[in-house]
A = this chain, B = another copy of it.
């Protein structure tokens, strides 16, 4: 089995799993097929993989004989990949099963399962630690045994109840054993009781310790309400018996919740069933017919949700979808709010640049990785003595500075009062204050996502407090700060220490108009040289701008937009500023300069000897040839490709993040732009 990542967003990924029976595009929903009776022909609805239960076949004499004879694919009439569960579910339901781990592994191999499962112990949430530890020990022992029996094409389930350290250590241990896929088990009770916040903790404790290069399966998650959230946490596979179970119970699943047929006055969706029948039509049908139609609805909308998620990962707005979905129930909102404790983990995997704009949907958006990353990256831009803080305007801010910037407060952070505007202007950092990115230095205000984001005009208190705190931290790096009155207003910042001008009442800080400072706001602009240098610092690290853009610098702008396009040293192209997100795409000279400047392993992907000739020809870098890399690389970044001696041999764009590059043995790691340096 073989897994490759195609596209990424947050900790989510779209990918491809290759199996002996065909390819699965992930994220994927695996409809549960009862081996004895099939309600719907799920392949007709687009299911690429199914899951069925080996234990049921094993226990039923007829089924057993049949499946041993013709194989599981024929038995359940599904030609694609088939995953089988081992009887753990029965174990958790009835406390005991009539099969050994070894037997069920062997049986799964005999019937031709594409991915089999060992007989793990699904320890429920909130048990005593003692029990969780003991059962986990058995689970891990059986995982080892499974590998001895079959050796490949195997799942191994993460257990550990709601003890995060047990989940983590289990994930770590079985992760190193080299299974093909990692289900996260025993989470159904959490979902059934709407404990989504605890689900987040359990999934994150597991995922962050599992290998990136293997798909993860959130076991028993069949309600489309949780798919987007789970994918954003790094889950790739779901299984759904729910589409039938809910139908049997006359319930319609929606990505926004569940409807009981008895309460419906209108059919709530646009699927074939909901546009062909009325609630009364369905209610007056025979149970069997109705059940089939409701199962069809449930399966159609579940698969549509998976497609929506794939599209969102492709567009780079998966978190926007997650934030929408998590509004449908307050306990899902709790889960979303809990995600703020995992921003650092998500940041590691979240691409540097995305197609879609960042949409602020509420206080929860403040915890997004993009914001954390921005605030840590602005420290890469060299400091100045004085600061002028301006309020939001249309984006990019520097293009829309208005004449009516209004009034300023002056704040002295260090030293004495300053009234000499000449002096202020000499070494001035102009930055904008806005929700949610807090402070945006003017030089980089076109870089993604600083120009590619939207937030409401009416601010919530969390955003106000967050921005105020970030602004206060930022101000403290300067000697003097001039703050526009609108900024002070919008973010309740009158409480920050404002020092009065000497001849004024000490308790009433004076407001100065622009004229008094002889400032003319429309004259506020950034030199092109400063802009390119700051962008390079922000993008590649402190000092990169200076290193990249030395010599006889020539800046070529787009005739149409007036934006910076290319930067040359004399006739030699160093880098090109990409129009969509205003980040630099290196050329050979730029790669050389960055390579000289940045210390190993920064910005680098190191390939082995075998790959070197291919890289030099400009061929893309496959993960299996990478022997080291800058672990802080994120996907969609410009990276240097070097050999073991740290000689620059090519450069390109990362497809995976550092952690993934090191873990994967399949698929592309870097799309090489140019070799032959």
Contacts and interface: CB of A to CB of B under 8 A. Distances in A.
A244 interface: no
A275 B304 contact: yes
A320 B464 CA distance: 25
Contacts of A497: none
Contacts of A311: 259, 264-266, 268
B454 A310 contact: no
A271 B269 CA distance: 8
B456 A333 contact: yes
A315 B257 CA distance: 13
Contacts of A270: 269-271, 300-301, 303-304
Interface stretch (A203-211, A355-363, A369-377, A574-582): A355-363
B338 A359 contact: no
Contacts of A455: 330
Contacts of A197: 457-458
Chain copies in the assembled complex: 2
Given A361-B330, A460-B363, A272 B272 contact: yes
26 contacts: A46-B275, A259-B311, A265-B310, A266-B308, A268-B304, A268-B311, A270-B301, A274-B304, A274-B307, A320-B328, A324-B324, A324-B328, A329-B359, A330-B359, A330-B360, A330-B361, A334-B458, A337-B456, A337-B460, A363-B363, A363-B461, A363-B462, A460-B460, A460-B462, A461-B464, A461-B465
Contacts of A303: 270
Interface in A305-337: 307-308, 310-311, 314-315, 320, 323-324, 327-331, 333-334, 337
A263 interface: yes
A256 interface: yes
A222 B133 CA distance: 58
A75 interface: no
Given A264-B311, A329-B454, A330-B455, 6 more contacts: A197-B458, A272-B275, A320-B328, A363-B363, A461-B462, A461-B464
A310 B360 contact: no
B460 A263 contact: no
A349 to B, nearest CB: 20
A631 interface: no
Given A324-B327, A324-B328, A327-B362, A461 B461 contact: yes
A267 interface: yes
Contacts of A265: 310-311, 314
A285 B568 CA distance: 45
Contact of A271 (B259, B275, B323, B454): B275
Nearest to A329: B359
A361 B336 CA distance: 11
A329 B461 CA distance: 19
Question: Nearest 3 CB-CB pairs, A to B?
Answer: A461-B461, A266-B307, A334-B456
B460 A315 contact: no
Nearest to A302: B270
- Most chain B C-beta atoms within 10 Å of own C-beta, residue among A327, A328, A359: A327
A391 to B, nearest CB: 16
Nearest to A457: B334
Interface of A is mostly: helix
A316 to B, nearest CB: 11
Nearest to A263: B315
A499 to B, nearest CB: 26
A313 to B, nearest CB: 9
A265 B363 CA distance: 31
Nearest to A276: B272
Contacts of A45: 275
A300 B275 contact: yes
A355 B311 CA distance: 35
A457 to B, nearest CB: 5
Nearest to A365: B330
Interface in A359-405: 359-363
Interface in A256-304: 256, 259, 263-272, 274-275, 300-301, 303-304
Given A275-B300, A311-B266, A329-B454, A362 B363 contact: yes
B331 A454 contact: yes
Interface string A432-476: 000000000000000000000011111011101100000000000
Contacts of A328: 320, 324, 359
Nearest to A363: B460
A161 to B, nearest CB: 20
Nearest to A317: B257
B331 A269 contact: no
A170 to B, nearest CB: 27
A231 to B, nearest CB: 13
A359 B275 CA distance: 28
Contacts of A324: 256, 324, 327-328
Contact of A333 (B330, B361, B465): B361
Interface string A562-604: 0000000000000000000000000000000000000000000
B330 A454 contact: yes
Interface in A69-125: none
Nearest to A356: B263
- Most chain B C-beta atoms within 10 Å of own C-beta, residue among A46, A263, A272, A362: A362
A312 to B, nearest CB: 9
Contacts of A330: 359-361, 454-456
A338 B459 CA distance: 11
Contacts of A307: 266-268, 274
Contacts of A300: 270, 275
Contacts of A256: 324
Contacts of A46: 275
B362 A333 contact: yes
Nearest to A274: B304
Contacts of A308: 266, 268-269
Contacts of A327: 323-324, 327, 361-362
Given A267-B307, A268-B311, A275-B304, A331 B456 contact: yes
B458 A337 contact: yes
A304 to B, nearest CB: 4
A311 B268 CA distance: 7
Contacts of A460: 337, 362-363, 460-462
